[in-house]
Structure 1
Amino acid sequence: MITRADVERAARTTAGLTRVTPVLEGDPEVFPGPVWFKCEFMQHTGTFKARGALNRVLAAKERGELNPDVGVVVASGGNAGLANAYAAAQLGVPATVFVPAAAPAVKVHKLKAIGAAVVRGGAEYAEAYQAAIKHAQETGAVYCHAYDQPEIAAGAGTAGLELLDQVGGLDTVLVAVGGGGLMAGIAAAVEGRAKVVAVEPETAPTLQAALAAGAPVDVQVSGVAADSLGARRIGDIGFSVAVRAGVESVLVSDADIIDARQKLWDDYRIIVEHGAAAAYAALTCGAYVPGVGERVAVILCGANTDPATLT
């Protein structure tokens, strides 16, 4: 469980180390009220995850847990690995990243360019996770979860604090969900100030399944956004914050995600990965319909993708 106080603490810890990403107002004639895009794809390493990674590694260093000889380890389809490798590089310590076999080549290439040791850890994220945990136990490396650690989620939530400062009054924030770290952080940051709508692929409905079951449960994972929204279950932190804050879940199809990603390019010349486009897809396909005058923000969370796949 995390609260706004945890997010504010993370903002102080990482001040000056993360980018204050811009906010772009959407075309006013398209929706019944104002829509803003929080451009987290412009964060260090191309994803919001640099916020949580820096918060986690700096906190571990402060507690004396960070061994400079072995550094950090993470399991990731790419983005969390990039973020933690970046954070480790800022502190001058090594990073080992276990990736599933399906990790996109563009992300693996960037991991190696940052200086991370990349290890293939199985067909899915869950298998890479087990391999990373074993590595941490054997070496003493600080384990950085891709989404389900308080410092990771709180760090991600600093984007929500920025958003409130940049836009002012908001009614709704749309956030893509895989494991739920970003959603948890944003929901904690804006709790009592705006509602959060979790947008999930139909092919990986981790939060919706958990809300129906009353607890996190495993789901089958597939689809175009599986490289970044491919967690098999919602994290405990994400689930607990979602329940406390009344986060609702809506589902979008692969076709909706692909269409929204293309629209962001066609209309705004914004290039994002499919996972980031999922949040916008809720608006473009009607999975979420704002009321007249409703003030909506969309978190565009990552840009680690191949631009050649856009037309």
Structure 2
Amino acid sequence: MITIEDIEAAARRIGGRVRRTPVVEVTPEAGAPEAGAPEAGAPEAGAPAGRLWFKLEFLQHTGSFKARGALNHLLAAAERGRLPDAGVVAASGGNAGLAFAHAADRLGVHAEVFVPETAPEVKVARLRALGADVVQVGVRYADAYDAATKRAEDRGALFCHAYDQPAVCAGQGTLGPELLEQTGGELDTVLVAVGGGGLMAGVATALEGRARVVAVEPENAPTLHAALAADRPVDVSVSGVAADSLGASRVGEIAFDVARRTGVASLLVPDAAIVHARRTLWDRYRVAVEHGTAAAAAALFTGTHRPAPGERVAVLLCGANTDPSDLVG
């Protein structure tokens, strides 16, 4: 469980170490794709109403929101005297590993990151550039996770979970009050992509009673959707275009508890809609994001989330560690 007090403490801890990423307002009518634009299999678009903002969190250190939680986790451990000389070990589909490698580099400790063999080369190369030792194991995040937990135990290193540790979720949650302030407090709904759920957990906690959070997941990786249906976290099969960043096979316990407590709903979008949303963000706004990030926008662009008249909506564009070559031409 995390609380607003945890998020406020995280904000104090990481203040000055992370970027206050910008928010841009766009006209709601411009948010929908051109008529006939969606690729085969994508739902028909509906034009949203009210006000619409994009939170450009992909401009964060390491290219994703995860720098917030990683820094908070390591700094909190250091405060408790629990940041060992052996350094840190993390398991990641890519973005969390980059964030923990960055945080470790900033604090002068060694980082070892386990990633699936399917992790995009652009992320693996950046991990190595940050000085982390990279170990590629298996084809799923779960394979990397199992190997990483064993290595951390063997070495006496601090284990860094990609999304299911309180300090990680609290750090991600610092995005929430920042967004609320940047939108003048005039915010009804936040659309956020969910894999393991750490970002959703933090933001939903931070905005509880102020704005509702809607989770958006790929149809091929419905971790939160399945957990809400089963009333507990359950394993799901994971595949599809967003699996490199939304590739957790089970939603985190913290995320599930927060979703149930705060009433977070889960929407599912197909791969075709995600691909189209990513292209739309580039074509209309020259914003290049990864497929997992585009899932949140896909719910809006396709009408899977249809804002009520006057509804004020923010879309978290949370990561851009992607190969942009397929966006050109």
* TM-score, normalisation: structure 1: 0.99
Aligned mate of 1:166, from 182, 206, 211:
182
- Whole-Å separation in 2 of the counterparts to 1:62 and 1:146: 20
The letter of the residue matching 1:80 is A
1:193-234 Cα offsets, whole Å, 9 max, x none, are 000100000000000100000100000000000000000010
How far has the Cα of 1:244 moved from its partner? 0.2
Distance in structure 2 (CA, Å) of the matches to 1:225 and 1:96: 24
- 2:277 equivalent to 1:250: no
Aligned partner of residue 144 in structure 2, secondary structure? helix
Identity of aligned residues (%): 66
Distance 2:58 2:200 in 1: 16
Match of 1:300 in 2: 317
Q: 2:212 aligns with which of 173, 182, 195?
A: 195
- What is the match of residue 105 of structure 2? 89
Q: Which residue of 2 aligns with 1:13?
A: 13
Please name the residue that 2:42 is paired with: none
Deviations 1:242-301 (A, max 9, x none): 000000000000000000000000111001000000000000111100001100000001
Alignment of 1:50-199 (within 5 A): 50-68=67-85, 70-167=86-183, 168-199=185-216
Q: Distance in 2 between matches of 1:78 and 1:305?
A: 10
Letter in 2 for 1:216: P
Match of 1:43 in 2: 60
1:120 positional shift:
1.0
Deviations 1:5-37 (A, max 9, x none): 111111011000000000011224333111101
Counterpart among 306, 315, 324 of residue 289 in structure 1: 306
Q: Provide, for residues 141-161 of structure 1, a one-character-per-residue CA deviation record: whole Å limited to 9, x for no partner.
A: 101100000000010011111
Question: What SS class does the counterpart of residue 134 from structure 2 fall into?
Answer: strand
Separation in 2, partners of 1:228, 1:158: 20
How many residue pairs end up in the alignment?
310
Instruction: Note the alpha carbon deviations across 1:14-64, whole angstroms, 9 max, x for none.
Output: 000000000011224333111101111000000000000000000111111
Gaps of 5+ in 1: none
Unaligned stretches of 5+ in structure 2?
31-47
Q: Secondary structure at the match of 1:36?
A: strand
Question: Counterparts of 1:108 and 1:27 in 2: how far apart (Å)?
Answer: 37
1:274 aligns with 2:291: yes
The alpha carbon displacement at 1:309 in A equals 1.5
Tell me the secondary structure at the aligned position of residue 175 of structure 2: helix
Measured on the aligned residues, the alpha-carbon RMSD in Å equals 0.7
Q: Secondary structure at the match of 2:274?
A: helix
Give, in whole Å, the separation in 1 of the partners of 2:102 and 2:269.
Answer: 31
- Give the letter for the 1:203 counterpart: N
- Output the CA distance in 2 between the equivalents of 1:173 and 1:5: 21
